Structure 1
Amino acid sequence: MAKVAFIGLGVMGYPMAAHLKNKGGHDVTVYNRTAAKAEKWAAEHGGQSAPTPKEAAKGCDFVFMCVGNDKDLHDVALGDDGAIHGMEKGATLIDNTTASADAARAIYAACKEKGVGFIDAPVSGGQAGAENGALTVMCGGDQDVYGPAEPVIMCYAKSCKLMGESGAGQITKMVNQICIAGLVQGLSEGLNFGQKAGLDMEKVLDVISKGAAGSWQMENRGSTMCKGEFDFGFAVDWMRKDLGICLSEAKNNGARLPVTALVDQFYAQVQDRGGNRWDTSSLIHLLQND
């Protein structure tokens, strides 16, 4: 059993923290910007809540973060009441936020100076993966820091791998989001094509999901896409944030992302239709309702 803090109790962080407590048996203290949510979590799961990230991190072996964006991450990690100021030498800070590689490297450098370990560890699998403890975790950092952290991370994961030095976890997550963006657009076009042709789309999905076109998106979103149901899942607003990070990083490394840039603009059109909180599969809405 380790002493653990979890900072950020959104739709992902809330169940992830619960798995650390209930599955891992760790002593968990939580912090959330809305204190009532942290208090609710503590009441439900028998842990403790703290008034600041710094207080939550005090005396902890591992401190997890899962917040919104680079600015939020900087505030909870390095701000005046940031987690790093409550951590002792030898502890490890683990960031599950999807953020930029630059943000990861900046926090890594600050932790290194203090004698604290840092792992950038963005996740894939969405809300369902978080609730089921079945996330895929992509990590960047030092091997000697990652080794002891992996069993703790696995409390909420089905797969966890060190991808390279600091920032490599975030870069891997960018690859993940780039692949998803193109895949969902292709799936949207295919399903809309089938609908326009008058096919029975449940039969179509049953057949093609068993072949080379099969994917997680097809298995889990194909049917709801055909029905025009999007009120769940990974929000368009979040995907646009992630794709913005990808496009920014591509400017740094010289990679061409023509399809990603186009799909990002399609998601902007979904936002214009009021679909900010719709699932990313809502790309098909632009084709079904043109």
Structure 2
Amino acid sequence: MSEVLESTTTELAPGVHVPLIGLGTWPMVGEDAADAVNRAINNGYRHIDTAENYGNEEAVGEGIRRSGIARQDIFITTKFNRDWHSRDGVGTAFERSAARLGVDYLDLFLVHWPNPVLGRFVEACEGLQQLADDGVIRAWGVSNFKPAHLLAVERAGLTVPVNQVQVDPAHGQPEQLAFHREHGIATGAYSPLGRNGDFLASPAITGAAQELARTPGQIVLRWHVQQGRIATPKSASDTRQRQNLDVFGFELTADQLAAINALETGAPPRLDSDTFGH
């Protein structure tokens, strides 16, 4: 097979390109997180995903500094909690996350959960847009927003650049992703390899892995990035970190993609963002 030339990033805002593969850091904390981030960067990662609620922003910042790679060469994504769901509160959330990470700007700042019972997620998005206008964050987005939540933000006159949601072959969320495509919203996939990995043993995945001389995990990550999704698998293993990055330069066929899509169970995300949030 001839080498496939393709982009390993997608554009969220003018000039803001996010690597399609990032390192997820939940539930790592402390030295475990700092060490994993340092090694990941030295294994080639340039996108690190964290959150206020993970309790590891300080460790992630330490890992980035320990790597010796310049700040501007690392794309940092973090997320803030419902305590800051107001226009002014988002500014405080930024200041605290930036201080914990030891940085003076963020590449991508997300509303972690909509918490619709509070009724203030639109205000939070307005605050994020102001931070972007002020130049202290390069791009903003949301996480775990259903189409109804996204429509409420759009009605306020805002364009949502990205929504990070749970997506894997068993939880493909086809209606959610169709909404994203129709509205020009990039999809971030957290837990992209699933929680228990049962589908990794499916013939749809193991067959493609055998044909392409790849691991099942690489096949699933290729399924994500080939469809333009930003995937952030968590790994503290050097071998798996390198494997997770090595998903470019080959392609799944239309039939292979369709076979993996067919693993969709119709199951909803693990947590319902209309009732769960922090």
Instruction: Please indicate, yes or no, whether the TM-score normalized by the shorter chain is above 0.5.
Output: no
Q: Larger relative CO (CA 8 A, sep 6+): 1 or 2?
A: 2
For the aligned pair, the TM-score class normalised by the smaller chain equals: 0.3 to 0.5
TM-score (normalizing by structure 2) = 0.33
Rg larger for: 1
